[in-house]
Amino acid sequence: MLKPLYKPVALQGSLMLAGAAVAGAMWGVQGALSAFLGGFSIVLPSLLFAWRLARGRQASVGGFFIGELVKVASMTGILLLVWRLYPGVHWGAVITGLAVTLQANFFALLLRL
């Protein structure tokens, strides 16, 4: 059973894969990979942040906000790496992957995860 901190991240991962499947149907393999990378830029930093929270590393409000800042900077860094390392990236699919994956936070509130 997942710890409560990991449930929203698992939902993000599920929506990331769903978004990649939809993008693959719309734009082919290149679109699927691009959407996956867009979603991955959200899921990986969120997973690392949840892991830090689960280990009790964010004991203060300041520590929490610093962790959140590092998470957002990591997301940006991964997107920059995608831009530099994948010249055939389909940016419409990347935005689709980002948008679908970010909706997990809304669904987590609705599902009370």
More confident residue, 105 or 82: 82
Contact 50, 24 (CB under 8 A): no
Kindly tell me if the per-residue pLDDT of 59 is higher than 90: no
Give the per-residue pLDDT at 45.
96
Kindly tell me if the per-residue pLDDT of 111 is higher than 90: no
Q: Is 89 helix (H, G, I), strand (E, B) or coil?
A: coil
* Domain edges within the chain: 7-111
By mean pLDDT, which of 34-38, 59-63, 69-73 is the weakest? 59-63
Q: What is the pLDDT of residues 14-55, one digit of tens each?
A: 999 999 999 999 999 999 999 999 999 999 999 999 888 888
Contact 39, 98 (CB under 8 A): yes
